[in-house]
Amino acid sequence: MLAQASAIARLHILNHMRAVHFVQNETGVTVVVEDLASGEPREIHASYLIGCDGAHSDVRHTLGVAMTGDPVVINTQSTYIRAPKLLGMMPGPAWCIVVLSPRCGAFIFAIDGRERWLIHNFLRPGEQSTDIDRDSRVREILGVGPSFDFEILGKEDWTGRRMIAQRFRDRRVFLCGDAAHIWVPFAGFGMNAGIADAMNLSWMLAAVIKGWADPRILDAYEIERQPITEQVSRYAMGISRAVSAFHFSVPEGLESPGKEGDALRARIGREAYELNVGQFCCGGLNFGYFYENSPIIAYDGEAPPAYTLYDFTQSTVPGCRTPHLWLRDGRSLYDALGPDFTLLRLDPAVDVSGLRAAAEVRGVPLAVLDVEADEAASLYRNRLVLSRPDQHVAWRGDKQPDDPAAVIDLIRGASAMA
């Protein structure tokens, strides 16, 4: 309880402060903050600083890190409304509604499931938000007349971009999430990538702070995450442009009555489904990626399986995500993994004493998990698989390595294997 109370107190203090600037040296980072109530400056000293401060990151600007990519992908007019009667006019409840018509294209998102809605109106090429009457466009999107009552709670006009920071690190300062990469907010790609950034960086920082990893392990953060965010950004940009092009090419006969109109609506509906299902069921993009050329992964020459936005193949190739299994006791494999490194053993007869001993000498926390699952043999061809704290494969083999200490030193950033 004391630790929890202390954490809450620190959060309360930071919520009442504004960062002014920071400086870093060989031993740490000093952040100068302003107390918002008193205006008094204060200094906060830390070993490291992580800029998770969004697309307009002050940390990134202070570091002088440039962004490169596509500054304009799509322009959108967003309106947040309260419309208590709208739900009752719909054929059924839905979290997201795709609006297609020859006049406009939009998404409607249910915010509270009752009366609050967010409307994204996609502007056509050359169309300016200032040229559009917001009230009329909202009514057009909702399909309601001038007598329908709604209240505008908020509004914002924004530009979707695809921009990646040229560097994710400057000595003891790191960029994470939207501070490191900006792209069109489709299907939560940005949130998913930000969480993956944080998980990737946090275990490495924790390892250094606890003393069992060499500070060189932190070099792996940018090497691993920057190429993935570049890749995801291009997926998101491609989807955004495809959705926009589709919305802007809806034929005039879409709302016509009769068989021809029915057939056209059925075709457009199928095309809309195929276009959108990938982004909302993007298992491949979230779980199929592979960390390449990392200095803390023991590669063995096998190429990872290909993946698409939608599909992926689980693999134990080092750098891939540790394949998921349902264990015979009903638990998820991920719930059974240790908090740090876990050595998965598919055959309990395999000797792992050398790896255990090498990890203990270096202080690397290593749990051993004997895996029994019906599908284990098809996913885990090797009898040993070493899973990192972020659930990516660091090493695999059928027996423990001839030099266990070399593998342990590699995964903790203290050496490089040929």
Residue-level pLDDT at 186: 66
The residue assigned the tokens 């589709």 is 246
Q: How far apart are CA 240 and CA 145, in angstroms?
A: 30
CATH T-level topology, domain 296-411: Glutaredoxin (3.40.30)
Residue-level pLDDT at 197: 95
Q: How far apart are CA 136 and CA 146, in angstroms?
A: 8
The pTM (predicted TM-score) of the whole model is: 0.85
Residue-level pLDDT at 5: 42
In the sheet that holds 29-35, the strands lie side by side as 17-24, 29-35, 41-46
Q: For the segment 136-161, what is each residue's pLDDT rounded down to a tens digit? A: 999 999 999 999 999 999 999 988 88
Long-range contacts from 287-294, C-beta under 8 angstroms, 24+ separation? 287/312, 287/321, 288/312, 288/313, 288/321, 289/228, 289/231, 289/321, 290/317, 290/319, 290/320, 291/224, 291/228, 291/319, 291/392, 292/227, 292/319, 293/223, 294/220, 294/223, 294/224, 294/319
Residue-level pLDDT at 217: 97
Name the strand (E) or helix (H) holding 100.
Answer: strand 96-100
Residue-level pLDDT at 252: 87
DSSP of 231-273, one letter per residue? HHHHHHHHHHHHHHHHHTT--GGGG--HHHHHHHHHHHHHHHH
The residue extents of the domains of the chain are 1-46, 69-161, 296-411
Q: Any bridge partners for residue 156, and if so which?
A: 78
The CATH code of the domain at 69-161 is: 3.30.9.10
- The stretches in the chain having pLDDT less than 70 are 1-15, 20, 186-188, 416-418
Asked if residue 52 lies in contact with residue 179, where contact means CB atoms within 8 angstroms, the answer is yes
| Residue (of 206, 228, 204) closest to 217 by Cα position | 204
